[in-house]
Amino acid sequence: MAAQHQPGEIIDNRYRILHFLGQGGIGTTYAAEHLETGEKVALKAVSLCQVDDFKVLELFEREARILAQLDHRAIPCYVDSFQAGKRRSRVFYLVQQLAEGLSLAKLVEMRWHPDEAKVRQIAERVLEILVYLQQLTPPVIHRDIKPENIIYRADGELFLVDFGAVQDVYHHTLTGGSTVAGTYGYMAPEQFRGKTVLATDLYGLGATLIFLLTRKPPTELPQRKLKIYFRSHVRIEKRFCNWIDRLIEPVADDRFLCAEEALAVLQGKPEFDRQTSTPQTRRPTNSPITLINDRDRLLVEIPPIWLRSPHSRLFALFPAIIDGFLLLMLWITAISSYVLTPVGSIYISIYGLFGLGLFVQFLHSSIFRLVFKTDVNEFALQRYFFRWCYQTVQGRTKEIIEIELQPIGLSMNKDPITVCTLRCRLRQYRFGCFLTEMEKEWLVAEVREFLANSRESIVKK
């Protein structure tokens, strides 16, 4: 995609193009300024007439959606996204805070040669960003860690940019990852199969560090058993060399589990215990939920919540207040012999129905038992009142697009209240709103892992 705009050009009557910044995998990026505020921004543009694969637009929309949720000082802030132009020549724009500085690739091109201490510092800074991304729910994988996407400032601060290949783990593992995104030489081997894990970004980081130390792209270095061989090209401390070597293992399981472990080991701390600590969400203590995973079949049984969780107690409070106020009004009306007007009767009836509806919704989510079961072929979601199954939803497992936590628009202690959402091709199914957030995160992670393993076993067969 060639550059579409020239310096001085006005976009959407809001932004003036300053100069060309770079060409990414799914768009052209410019430095621009807001006409009213004078704020400097990075403006990424994707032209509809230049897109030969609509997967590009899907990646672009996903980048905007995920960036809007991120909040980290080393990730340029999301500002806006919009469309401009006529139907056939429409251009999609993404606006971010402008990251001041030069990319690591540009610095090396200008004969910058950082020493081992500086490279180690860069590694720590990037890992801190990856730890933040991987601890989100769901975890976020950048998928394109490379020198061009790390902006380094003169004071030592750096920024991670170009989230055009970004993917959230739940969506990626459940859809099978048909889109291969990344940059050759910095892509982990599993990316060529359309698969990503938490350790995927570690490979890109390792290849980037090797580039800084050798001033050569990974593709120009020799390989041994499909692994970049760089040791004879660098003179660094053995422990640091071994640490980088671990990042670029061709098999993801041979790398560190996640960015948090890689950072801990770099800082001299012990590796995680594989038996007791994993990057996945673990079962909350004292949870009454039954979960059975025998590899071929997953069974989840959620007993009645009642008032066990803070969420259920909060939702029980609403109908109690509304219905209590209604009863008080009726009692005052009765003892005062006041005759309600027709309009007053209508208002009280609507108010009463609203309170009754909230109460029924509370009962629906708190006193019934829910069973979710799935195997490689089919899934079923069932709701029980004691032993009576009053609702059953069935479908093909391959129709499941993703499972995620969706906010419902309410919060408790400033944390959003979410609901487990099973998204299929034609519709989506929600459950577990009254569970604790830890229980919901654990359930989503378990179901996601089972479905990912099921799809992988089908492919191997």
Active site residues: 144
Classify the C-alpha dihedral 352-356-362-366 as positive or negative.
positive
SS3 sequence of the chain = CCCCCCCCCEECCCEEEEEEEEECCCCEEEEEEECCCCCEEEEEEEEHHHCCCCHHHHHHHHHHHHHCCCCCCCCCCEEEEEEECCCCCCEEEEEEECCCCEEHHHHHHCCCCCCHHHHHHHHHHHHHHHHHHHCCCCCEECCCCCHHHEEECCCCCEEECCCCCCEEHHHHHHHCCCCCCCCCCCCCHHHHHCCCCCCHHHHHHHHHHHHHHHCCCHHHCCEECCEECCHHHCCCCHHHHHHHHHHCCCCHHHCCCCHHHHHHHHCCCCCCCCCCCCCCCCCCCCCCCEEEECCCEEEEEECCCCCCCHHHHHHHHHHHHHHHHHHHHHHHHHHCCCCCCHHHHHHHHHHHHHHHHHHHHHHHHHCCEEEEEEECCEEEEEEEECCEEEEEEEEEHHHEEEEEEEEEEEEECCEEEEEEEEEECCCEEEECCCCCHHHHHHHHHHHHHHHHHHHHHHHHC
Q: Cβ(288)–Cβ(303) under 8 Å?
A: yes
User: In DSSP terms, which residues pair with 422 in a beta bridge?
Assistant: 403, 429
Taking alpha carbons only, the member of 265, 131, 153, 146 closest to residue 199 is 131
Neighbouring C-alpha atoms within 13 Å toward the C-beta of 228: 32
User: In DSSP terms, which residues pair with 32 in a beta bridge?
Assistant: 17, 41
Residues whose CB is less than 8 angstroms from the CB of residue 189 and which lie 6 or more positions away in sequence, other chains included: 203, 226, 250, 251, 252
CA distances from 391 to 334, 367, 386, 444 (A): 41, 14, 13, 22
Query: Rg for the chain (alpha carbons), in Å?
Result: 27
